A and B are shown apart, each in its own frame.
Chain A
């Protein structure tokens, strides 16, 4: 599962870094040029976060860093010593989908699914930020997440559903 042996001291430049990922605490020795995305995927085997462009343009790598949505491909993992990271795997699983995951299923908010983990993490982060009131706001505030299949109308519908349910007090905003 979590393969910390693979994150052993690789070089003299490796830096001790403590990260809590989806509730699990890790002490890792990380080469400074390792992106948070690569650490998650290659070392911690959390492959839900996707490497689409690797340049902060597509949003497929979006995770929640101390609760805030960021592009994990542009984060150097060593810079986040002490941080809490939540990936799509940490939001929910097959037997316990989070409200946002369930809404994407219910509204068919994807086709190929590649951008979906980033879309969902971004949408959860967006609702926590609390600046979204209208459908136009949702589109603007999710513009950092590209969907090559063009599932945007259904993505907006899914997010709107969760936002409306949260406003009506039907559970959390996630």
Chain B
């Protein structure tokens, strides 16, 4: 790990000002990913601004019926919070399907949004990687790409976003609250992470000095009919090969509202609200509907060798999650 300056942030504006006026500054909260990346010499911040003393630890009700999750709420506290487990069960399940208890006790909501890909080439400074060092190349496309993307890839990068939490938040239409040198703004989670395109080194739409303060969930939590299905190489403590967060509202056998997102397939949680409107809403909650929807959502998927199996695994995982969500609570 390189040497760096350490600063304890006393307030948001001071933290944003410090980070925006210097090069190479990172914010740190739980540190479970950032410290690891520093140990591997993947990132080399000149200074760390510790956000933990800021008042962003609360989960509060919103006037419109949703909840606001402070950026410093730990993954454990979020998953086990009675409001979240009762009203947004797919978010609790997604978080508890990720990492280990020790990591979840430390990792934060804001940090989880900002965690980096687990592509093995990104993590190894001895080899080229366009995400770590732009312009050096991408050995992953012809290499060890078992965990990597099949959708939204670019010539430069086929990395996946590793989060479980973000997949559920995408399906829930969460909004990320951000503050920074240019003021406050709200970013839909669907737009928060980028596709790699020409600039795989940039993961999100955050600009220099911007800080995540909260994630808002709307009132609709799909508590009655939701599922989080995660397929991985071992049953616990492993990143997703494919994961699906599925939420449905069903009236008299017909879908009235839906939110469905995939993890393990792209540089960001993969969701299409437009396809949900066209192929799920108003349709009967049955396998024909799931089939039409998964075919459209996975259109254009492409494997790179080791990850070709995902082309078969993604559709069946999607169907399983939708089926499970549609029949949640039913006695068969």
Q: List residues of chain A with CB under 8 Å of any chain B CB.
A: 11, 13, 15, 31-33, 35, 54-56, 59, 62, 68-71, 74-76, 78-79, 81, 122, 125-126, 129, 131, 139-145
The residue from B2, B5, B102 contacting A56, defined by CB atoms under 8 A apart: B102
Q: Which residues of A contact B254 (CB under 8 A)?
A: none
Q: Among A13, A54, A56, A70, find the residue whose CB has the most chain B CB atoms closer than 10 A.
A: A56
A131, B237: Cβ atoms under 8 Å?
no
Main secondary structure of the interface of B (DSSP, over half): mixed
Min CB distance A81 to B, Å, is: 8
Q: A15-B6, A76-B35 are in contact. Are A70 and B105 (CB under 8 A)?
A: yes
The residue from B2, B5, B32, B38 contacting A71, defined by CB atoms under 8 A apart: B32
B103, A143: Cβ atoms under 8 Å?
no
Q: Which residues of B contact A11 (CB under 8 A)?
A: 3
Report the Cα distance A74→B101, complex, angstroms. 14
Report the Cα distance A15→B6, complex, angstroms. 8
Q: A33-B3, A140-B236 are in contact. Are A59 and B35 (CB under 8 A)?
A: no
Report the Cα distance A126→B4, complex, angstroms. 34
The residue from B32, B48, B80, B237 contacting A74, defined by CB atoms under 8 A apart: B32
Whether, in the assembled complex, B52 has its beta carbon less than 8 Å from a beta carbon of chain A, the answer is: yes
Min CB distance B323 to A, Å, is: 24
Please give me the residue from chain A that is nearest to B238 by CB atom. A143
A56, B3: Cβ atoms under 8 Å?
no
Across the A-B interface, how many residue pairs have beta carbons closer than 8 Å?
86
Report the Cα distance A8→B3, complex, angstroms. 17
Q: Which residues of B contact A35 (CB under 8 A)?
A: 35
Query: B1-33: which residues lie under 8 A (CB-CB) from chain A?
Result: 1-6, 8, 28, 31-32
B48, A141: Cβ atoms under 8 Å?
no
A56, B32: Cβ atoms under 8 Å?
yes
Q: Which residues of B contact A70 (CB under 8 A)?
A: 102, 105-106
Q: Which residues of B contact A54 (CB under 8 A)?
A: 39
Q: Which residues of A contact B102 (CB under 8 A)?
A: 56, 59, 62, 69-71, 122, 125, 144
Report the Cα distance A68→B102, complex, angstroms. 8
The residue from B1, B40, B50 contacting A33, defined by CB atoms under 8 A apart: B1
Q: Which residues of B contact A15 (CB under 8 A)?
A: 6
Report the Cα distance A19→B16, complex, angstroms. 28
The residue from B2, B4, B6, B36 contacting A55, defined by CB atoms under 8 A apart: B36
Q: Which residues of B contact A13 (CB under 8 A)?
A: 3-6
Whether, in the assembled complex, B207 has its beta carbon less than 8 Å from a beta carbon of chain A, the answer is: no
Whether, in the assembled complex, B272 has its beta carbon less than 8 Å from a beta carbon of chain A, the answer is: no
| Beyond known contacts A76-B48, A144-B103: 12 more, CB 8 A cutoff | A13-B4, A15-B6, A33-B2, A56-B32, A56-B100, A59-B100, A70-B102, A74-B32, A74-B35, A76-B28, A125-B101, A144-B100
Please give me the residue from chain A that is nearest to B5 by CB atom. A13
Min CB distance B100 to A, Å, is: 3
Could you give 11 example pairs across A and B, Cβ below 8 Å? A54-B39, A56-B103, A59-B102, A70-B102, A70-B106, A74-B103, A76-B35, A78-B6, A125-B105, A139-B236, A143-B236
